[in-house]
Structure 1
Amino acid sequence: MSALSPRPRTVARAATGTGATLALATVALAATGTAGHAADYTVRDGDTLTSIAKRTGTTVARIATDNALADPSRVRSGQVLRVPDAAPAAAAPAAGTSYTVRSGDTVSGIAARHGTTVAAVVAANGLDARAFVRAGQTLTIPGPAGGTAAAPAPAAAPASGGTYTVQRGDTVSAVAARHGTTVAAVVAANGLDARAFVRAGQTLTIPGADAPRPASPQAATAQPAAAGAAYTVRSGDTVSAIAARHGTTVQAVVAANGLDARATIRAGQQLTVPGAAAAPQAAPATQLVGNTFAGRTYSSGVVDAANQNKRTLLASGAPSRADMQAKVAATARAMGVDPALAQAVAHQESGFDHTAVSPANAIGTMQVIPSSGEWASQLVGRQLNLLDPDDNVVAGVAILRSLVRTSDDLPSAIASYYQGAGSVKRNGMYADTRRYVANVQTLMTRFG
């Protein structure tokens, strides 16, 4: 059900529920009008609000608000939507450069290295809703300076910039938010890799930055927050999930609420969500994830968060199971973990289904709960978004790597991923944990 989740656990088949298969089709825009004006759009099979927003240069929140959609995750074929600020589909992409995809590349990593966005790369290359690319594929990188594949743009003489010394616990997203710049700009200015990894004591060049913004909530109140909606944090929420649901960014939420570098939030906390239209916080009418498993009933807050995350994953378009298996194997090799172990755990947890979400809000391919995701973020030195396929795999593999290093033997490490290391040490392996360990070790021979 999740890395280090509360007992009892669920495996992928119990976690996915109905609606886990999302038909994807090429999106065709039937728009009228010109850029800068609202246009009509007729929904076709396979469309999601996310894919429509990407291709029309707007946000899910804007479309949902302008069309008074009660459930933004569900649109039907033939439905006519008003799309604000829609640009004609045939518009030529901005001038850019070519990039040849290498093994392990993702569109998000390529976009970050070249100082552009995922939406821009998707639009410029006619990619589908999954934004899937393959090694050897040539992409057009939109923008005045597409950059090179080998290294980001040098960090020479940023306009009105400054320097910053990384503190323990800092992430690039938090540093960028405090200085009023972007992750892509910091990555490019400092030649960081796709992971945007930084270390305590490192001096960063902050391009286009004014004086750093205060990190404390008290100091943040001196600056008026951007117009947006109020949101009450529920059990199981993460900043990344809240940002995704409201069509904004982690950096914007961090800056608007004066959060620390870890973007820590607590249940009951009131957040300002900048740039987001107010949305009802009641549980959706259609439940994609149930509230019970193996005799345990989970709290409404956790189940509501699980359903929201399930909707987000289904709407965003997940990679195929084969693609996710390849990501797991490649990430394990890169991080020094036995690929057979990582693949066996992923198969046992979700069957490589990235849209899997359990009643305990265990998310994605590696079935990691938000609290374990925060731990994984600390292990790798950057904030991980469990809804992102690459980050989800990194989180699970990082936890596995830590457990293998600190456990007495491999069975104990596998058991700890399922039951929790502290519980295994205090109570030994439960009966279902022993079955889990046996299944994973059997699967390892299949992937070895």
Structure 2
Amino acid sequence: MKMKPTFSLCFLLAGLYAVAQCHQHPRYHNKHDNSKGTYYPGRSSHGEGIYPVKNKTFVKLVPSNADFAFSFYKLVASEATDENIFFSPISISASFAMLALGAKSATLMQILEGLAFNLKKTQEQEIHEGFCQLLHMLNRSDSELQLSLGNALFIEETLKPLQKFLDDVKSFYEAEVFSTDFNNSSGAENQINNYIEEKTNGKIVKLVENLDPLTAMVLVNYVFFKAHWEKPFSTSYTKQEDFFVDRKTSVKVDMMYRKGYYRNYFDEELSCWLVQIPYNGNAAALFILPDEGKMKQVEVVLLKRTVSKWEKFLQDRKIHLHIPKFSISGTYDVKRIVKQVGMIDLFTEQADLSGITEDEEGGRLLSSCWVIHRAMLNVHENGTEAVGVTVKEVTWRSGDFPHPPRVRFNRPFLLVILDKYTRTVLFIGKIVNPLKND
């Protein structure tokens, strides 16, 4: 007879960002996903007809999601001095907000307040409705941009999830729920890894290893984003140049080059260049280049209001732009980091998650569980799909520099990728060494 598992929750987030792959991949709508185990059917995973977008509840989430994004960055940066950083704050926010559906009392309050929500201004129901709308709007795929963000729960087969919890995670968070035999660790690992590999189009493989047979639940979050630059770089201009990691260290990188019109601004107070590079579709990347020795000064004020100020000052002007090709990834112990934003009970025996399962031990989380977030970033000219693309631009515009400045990203810089329509921070990165991948 199989032993009843202790309700220790293993929480896993897998994020992926890839620019300009060579082939379009289909979005996956098959709820069974070839994953072994029982799938719990429920209501529409897209929330269609439940909370019409015309209500725009998601707008109330925008400030809090941005605050959490930059707070999380600062916590990561404080521990990862002089290292590459890359993560998806919206995927982390969505996962913890979904977990709040099964939380009660102080645990519930800690999760939502840890996500930077003011519960006097935004009700719990509005938060879930807002995420429902937001995920629905972000999940899109067309010829210009592909963005897929979702969640899945793998629950120990001997436990009985509450139907309300199953219904809520499906209707609000587009989540899939599978019954899993964690006593068969290798089988459970294969089931979860196959799911992640499929959802990230083969880019994240074998993320789960050495699962504890006493695991009761694994939450998986994935985000896949593929877009092409609105104004692609020509491979013929890419050449090897020095990238100065610090005053003593330089590395050779493939530096892309393009002369053209970009929204840009030099912040004299913070001593940094801002260049916004748009993608085809509704997304844009804000590249932030601090002057030498000014990185920490810029990081201190990397806040929602600072980015809003920058966006107001950006002007469309011609520049000589140099940006390195790079591919990096970041892996983070989210469990340790979120405790610093106030989620102190969540991964302890004091946690109240009694809204998840009927099991008498279902409200208790043990501190032995783990939380992982992995994100990957790939930046290059635009791949083979960009070959032969020509972009014509007006030769002169009002507000142009007398002589177009040369903005050369050949030292550590920051990166914020935004969905312009929903004002959502999709990814935040810091590139210290373009040649280091993780």
With the shorter chain as reference, the TM-score category is: under 0.3
Question: TM-score normalised to the size of structure 2?
Answer: 0.23
Question: TM-score normalised to the size of structure 1?
Answer: 0.23
| Higher helix content, 1 or 2 | 1
| Higher strand content, 1 or 2 | 2
Q: Which has the higher contact order (CA 8 A, sep 6+)?
A: 2
